[in-house]
Homo-oligomer: A and B are copies of this chain.
Amino acid sequence: MIVQAGIRITEEEKNKIDVVDFGLSHLEIEGVQVLTLVQTERISVKVLVLFHNQTEPEHWHPPVGNDPGKEETIRVVSGTVFFYVQGENTFKQGFLVKGKEKYYTLMHEIILRPGDQITFQPGEKHWFQARDEGAVMYSFSSVARDALDQFTDPNIVRIVKVVD
């Protein structure tokens, strides 16, 4: 999907794509696939992939020490992505994960297509979802400390598995 989206990556990068199931063990429902392109003490650049109807659970990036928390811009490369943020309930085209409704509290819907982007301030809650064709996105951010991300769903453990 990354290559089909027009992103050129090296063979080495193909071998280091992380599959994140958030410890929920139903990857195809709640999960995300991540290729980290840049990861330093100051910035992070990732390619995010969502499969057909896959949802990244509601979360936010908390302060860490002197850092106010991760600031993140997500830019869509391919597919349509349904983002949910604070604001008036305009929920229309998304769907809530069955049995997990209470862990999705944000209902303000923003639909982004290739070339569109959205910026999340530190601490700003969000969740997002792909539909039929899945989606490929860039995530540009200040330093990422994914293990410290906070989730609405208390069952979530931020576990990263590396695909062979």
Q: Which residue of chain B has its CB nearest to the CB of A114? A: B8
Residue A43 at the B interface, CB < 8 A? Answer: yes
Contact between chains at B6 and A6 (CB < 8 Å): yes
Give the size category of A's interface with B. 20 to 34
CA distance A111 to B112 in the complex (A): 36
Tell me the number of copies of this protein: 2
Asked if A140 and B140 sit within 8 Å, CB to CB, the answer is yes
Q: Which residue of B lies closest to A7 (CB)?
A: B6
Determine the chain B residues whose CB is within 8 A of the CB of A24 once the complex forms.
none
Interface residues of A in 76-121 (CB under 8 A from B): 77-78, 114-117, 119
CB interface residues, A 125-143, toward B, < 8 Å: 140-142
